């Protein structure tokens, strides 16, 4: 893995392409899922089933926005999911590709 620089953080853009980090495992839970990063050993709670699905399919779509459309996330909730993805990028759960 290339080292991440500080500038790489806080750069989430809906128009960019992302994927689940290779070092992250996802475990389904009643509330959504747990994501565990084997590199930084952080446990992150994904607290909505739609977010779990979104994270899983990010790699199959040309942009985060397109992945949201494919996951059937309604327009009014996209800003909230965008913020969630931004925090997941900061936690290195997802990364730009």
Q: Which residues bind other proteins (CB under 8 A)?
A: 25, 27-32, 34, 36, 38, 41, 43-48, 50-51, 80-81, 83-84, 87-88
Distances (CA, A) of 72 to 30, 38, 51, 96: 20, 30, 11, 22
Q: How far is the CB of 24 from other proteins (least distance, A)?
A: 10
The residue written with tokens 């290339």 in the block is 2
Q: How far is the CB of 25 from other proteins (least distance, A)?
A: 6
Helices 49-57 and 78-90, packing angle to 10 deg? 60
Query: Quick one: 11 or 87, whose CB is closer to other proteins?
Result: 87
Q: How far is the CB of 47 from other proteins (least distance, A)?
A: 5
Residue 9: how many CA atoms within 13 Å on its side-chain side? 10
Query: Quick one: 17 or 48, whose CB is closer to other proteins?
Result: 48
């Amino acid at each position: 893995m290339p080292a991440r620089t500080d500038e790489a953080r806080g750069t989430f853009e809906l128009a960019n392409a992302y994927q689940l980090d290779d070092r992250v495992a996802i475990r389904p839970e009643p509330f959504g899922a747990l994501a565990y990063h084997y590199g930084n050993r952080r446990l992150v709670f994904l607290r909505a089933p739609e977010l779990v699905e979104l994270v899983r399919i990010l790699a199959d779509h040309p942009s985060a926005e397109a992945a949201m459309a494919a996951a059937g996330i309604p327009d009014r909730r996209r800003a909230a999911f965008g913020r969630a993805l931004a925090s997941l990028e900061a936690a290195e759960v997802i990364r730009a590709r």
